[in-house]
Amino acid sequence: MATVKKIKASDKIRVFKNLIGSCSFSAKGFPSYWEENLEYKDIMLSDLEDALGSQVINSIFEKNKFLIKDEEAREFLRLSPLGDDYLDSDKIKELLNSKDSNKVEEIVEICEDSELDMIVETAVKEKIKDKNILGVLEDYTGLPLAEDIENNIDTSEKSDTSNKTIKRTKKK
């Protein structure tokens, strides 16, 4: 007989930062700073429950910019079920290595700007060579990704010096 895991407010759960760069927020006395290279934090459910009382913080979690993969914890926090419609670093790597430019375009058309940033940064870091996938990403961002990969340039460093923002050339 399988035992049922009972979630308590004192439990800590893993929260993944699904954004590029560092970020911080504070809600109801719950400050949180995420360094650029920090992938996740283990946070007590009661603290998250308090923070989610803020509409801004709740929106960040609902859009999966801070991602909770544990469905029981999502239910406890009254977040919508995760399903398969989210992107994280593992799914982005898998997508870019699939060599399916049509699938990449479908996702890029509807993804959030923060997810597009993650896709672009991952493509450069992983040195994706597929010209069709790079073409799709270049069309949507206006960035010379093939050149960046060839020259091994980090897009975040480049954007600081050129003041060039990522833009979408096609409808979302």
Distances (CA, A) of 154 to 68, 78, 94, 157: 28, 37, 20, 5
Distance in angstroms (rounded) separating the CA atoms of residues 47 and 36? 22
Distance in angstroms (rounded) separating the CA atoms of residues 11 and 53? 18
Q: Model pTM greater than 0.95?
A: no
Distance in angstroms (rounded) separating the CA atoms of residues 30 and 72? 22
- DSSP assigned state of 170: S
Residue-level pLDDT at 155: 47
Q: What ranges do the domains of the chain cover?
A: 12-76, 89-162
Average pLDDT, the chain: 80
pLDDT tens column, 50-109? 888 888 888 888 888 888 999 899 999 999 888 777 888 889 999 999 989 999 999 999
- DSSP assigned state of 148: H
Q: Is residue 145 within 8 Å of 120, Cβ to Cβ?
A: yes
